[in-house]
């Protein structure tokens, strides 16, 4: 099935009909919603191989993986590399998405623990995603980060009758955005399939995969081209490294924002 990246439909909030008996109930989640993001509507249950479970907030998700926040007080200390089962469910829906996954990263975010998960099978996720859940899965706004301003991340794309090299503007588990000139993107249209390659900072192995043009936004001098990774197009081999890079950037951005909020206000 086709999963739209630019679905502008916003789901409506509603109370959850589900039982709150699982560990990690609403106390920690209220603090997260107040301080970070008031619109969290996806819950994630992580089940370990030994049967332990914990309930958290799914704060970013794509067909490749998910980021899940768990209160420190409810954390069950799942180490990196662990194989788990994840169930992701909207608080107002009876249906859910479920998959085996691997814990790629574990990091502390204030009073919360963030687990970066990589799904074991993209195909299994795609088969479960209906029109309702498509608004989250593989949307570029999920876990989209920009490279550090001191680091230039270059990419190259090739298609049937052209090629270009351009700077990466942003990345997510679902795709990337690149900045190019009008001349460079001449003939590049929505839906065009391309061969993409890029090297993440600190990684010795460049990413090489297939992608599809899903957005072209023109500015005064440049064009922002949105590329969606194709399922089973090769990105699966690099999912762990990409998730690690995104997690690192999110941590650094969060630290910067926290430091800025602690700066004394200027008077006058």
Report residue 188: phi and psi, to 5°: -90, 115
- CA gap 160, 147 in Å, rounded: 29
Judge whether residue 125 has pLDDT over 50: yes
pLDDT of 257 reads: 61
pLDDT of 139 reads: 46
How many whole angstroms from its chain centre is CA 2?
A: 18
- CA gap 100, 215 in Å, rounded: 31
Q: Backbone dihedral region of 256: left (phi > 0), alpha (psi from -120 to 50 degrees) or beta?
A: alpha
Lowest mean pLDDT among 59-73, 140-154, 218-232: 140-154
Closest CA to 85 of 108, 107, 106, 68: 68
pLDDT of 131 reads: 74
Q: Is 2 buried (19+), middle (13-18) or exposed (0-12) by CB count in 10 A?
A: exposed
Tokens 């936004």, residue? 217
Band (28; pLDDT cuts 50, 70, 90): very low
Judge whether residue 142 has pLDDT over 70: no
Please give the full DSSP string across 71-117, using - where no structure is assigned: EGGG---PPTT-EEEEEEEETT-S--EEEEEEEEEEEEETTEEEEEE
pLDDT of 38 reads: 40
Per cent of the chain over pLDDT 90 is 28
Both tokens of residue 227? 């590329």
N- to C-terminal Cα separation, the chain: 57
3 state SS for 184-251: CCCCCCCCCEEEEEECCCCCCCCEEEEEEEEEEEECCCCEEEEEEECCCCCHHHHHHHHHHHHHHHHH
The CATH number of 154-253 is: 2.40.10.220
pLDDT of 56 reads: 92
Lowest mean pLDDT among 26-30, 103-107, 122-126, 229-233: 26-30
- CA gap 104, 123 in Å, rounded: 19
User: How far is CA 240 from each of CA 16, 18, 47, 130, 227, rounded to the nearest angstrom?
Assistant: 32, 32, 20, 25, 19
pLDDT of 14 reads: 35
Higher pLDDT, 202 or 33: 202
pLDDT of 194 reads: 95
Judge whether residue 70 has pLDDT over 50: yes
pLDDT digits (tens, 9 = 90+) for 172-211: 888 898 999 988 998 888 899 999 999 988 887 899 999 9
Best mean pLDDT range from 35-39, 169-173, 254-258: 169-173
Mean pLDDT of 2-15: 35
- CA gap 178, 103 in Å, rounded: 29
Q: What is the mean pLDDT of the chain?
A: 77
pLDDT of 266 reads: 55
- CA gap 194, 187 in Å, rounded: 12
Band (58; pLDDT cuts 50, 70, 90): confident
Superfamily grouping for domain 26-135:
predicted glycosyltransferase like domains (2.40.10.220)
- Quote the pTM value: 0.49
Pinpoint the residues of the chain covered by CATH 2.40.10.220: 26-135, 154-253
CB contact burial 58-93 (16+ within 10 A = b; e otherwise): bbbbbbbbbbbbbbeebbeebeeebebebbbbbeeb
């Amino acid at each position: 099935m086709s999963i739209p990246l630019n679905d502008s439909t916003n789901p409506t909030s509603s109370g959850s009909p589900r039982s709150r008996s699982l560990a990690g109930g609403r106390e920690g989640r209220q603090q997260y919603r107040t301080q970070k993001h008031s619109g969290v509507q996806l819950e994630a249950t992580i089940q370990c191989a030994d049967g332990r479970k914990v309930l958290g907030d799914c704060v970013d998700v794509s067909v490749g993986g998910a980021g899940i926040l768990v209160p420190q007080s409810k954390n069950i200390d799942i180490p990196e590399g662990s194989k788990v089962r994840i169930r992701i469910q909207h608080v107002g829906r009876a249906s859910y998405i479920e998959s085996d996954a691997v814990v790629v990263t574990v990091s502390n975010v204030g009073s919360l623990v963030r687990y970066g998960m990589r799904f074991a099978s993209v195909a299994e996720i795609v088969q479960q995603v209906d029109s309702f859940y498509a608004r989250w899965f593989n949307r570029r706004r999920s876990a989209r980060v920009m490279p550090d301003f001191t680091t230039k991340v270059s990419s190259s794309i090739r298609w049937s009758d052209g090629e270009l090299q351009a700077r990466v503007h942003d990345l997510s588990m679902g795709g990337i955005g690149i900045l190019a000139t009008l001349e460079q993107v001449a003939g590049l249209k929505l839906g065009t399939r391309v061969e993409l390659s890029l090297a993440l900072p600190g990684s010795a192995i460049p990413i090489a995969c297939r992608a599809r043009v899903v957005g072209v936004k023109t500015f005064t001098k440049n064009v922002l081209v949105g590329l969606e990774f194709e399922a089973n197009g090769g990105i699966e081999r690099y999912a762990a490294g990409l998730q690690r890079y995104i997690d690192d950037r999110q941590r650094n951005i969060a630290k910067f924002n926290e430091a800025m909020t602690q700066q004394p206000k200027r008077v006058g």
